[in-house]
Homo-oligomer: A and B are copies of this chain.
Amino acid sequence: MGSRRMNALTSLKPAGRRRATPPSALSNRRERHRSEIRERIFSSALRLFAEHGYLQTTVEDITEAADVGKGTFFNYFPTKEHVLASYGDERVATVERALEKARAGKEPVMAILKELAVSAAGQSSASPELLRSIFAAHLSSATIRAELQKRMQRFRNLMAEVFVLGQARGEIRRDRSAAEMARMTHIVFMGVTIAWAVNPDSSLQKSAEEVWESISPSFRARKERKERKRS
């Protein structure tokens, strides 16, 4: 209850209606409830995609697994495709956070890029089954692929901004286009992920780190390359 009150005090929503519980606390509770339901639908959907494939999973399967009514599903996701889009949005969010970090300027840009590349491959929620199901859906449906292409572009644009910051700070070479380096990094880590999804013969994280160690020297500014060699 204490934390709810705290939230109520800091809430920006106007209070005033007569209730036992302050309305802002109520709206907070509602918010939390909504986010729990959404999470339940989302994770049930991903589990079913992984188990049976994306195309084979129906909205009914999802609502049944999440124990919610069909109407409830549509309050959160207009279509099944939107669940997939949410998954993609989470990937884009990781590069948004990386860009924020790069802007904050407290860490070397190359360290931020490494973390991004390795964690994008090692997506916390990823299982080979889920990744296979998601890749298969993208390969099989032009509609889903069109959404992916938009997100790929956004992902690469944001990543290119991180590269630009690295160039401005002298960490990353300026004789290569930031957009091209971002595009290449994205392509390469897509390969790491899908190779692992079809053949999970070793740790995804380890593969991703090895690949980063191989490609990252070709991004470094000359001065940085020399210094790293000396040390």
Contact = CB atoms under 8 A, between A and B. Distances in A.
Contact of A199 (B133, B148, B184, B214): B148
Contacts of A180: 210
Contacts of A198: 138-139, 145, 148-149, 152
B197 A211 contact: no
Interface string A172-193: 0000000010001011111111
Contacts of A211: 184, 187-188
Main secondary structure of the interface of A (DSSP, over half): helix
A207 interface: yes
Nearest to A200: B149
Q: How large is the interface on A (under 10, 10 to 19, 20 to 34, 35 or more residues)?
A: 35 or more
Interface of A: 53, 132-133, 135-136, 138-140, 145, 148-149, 152, 180, 184, 186-195, 197-199, 201, 207, 210-211, 213-215, 217-218
The 9 A-B residue pairs with the shortest CB-CB distance in the complex, in nearest-first order: A191-B191, A136-B139, A187-B195, A214-B218, A132-B139, A190-B191, A190-B195, A149-B199, A136-B136
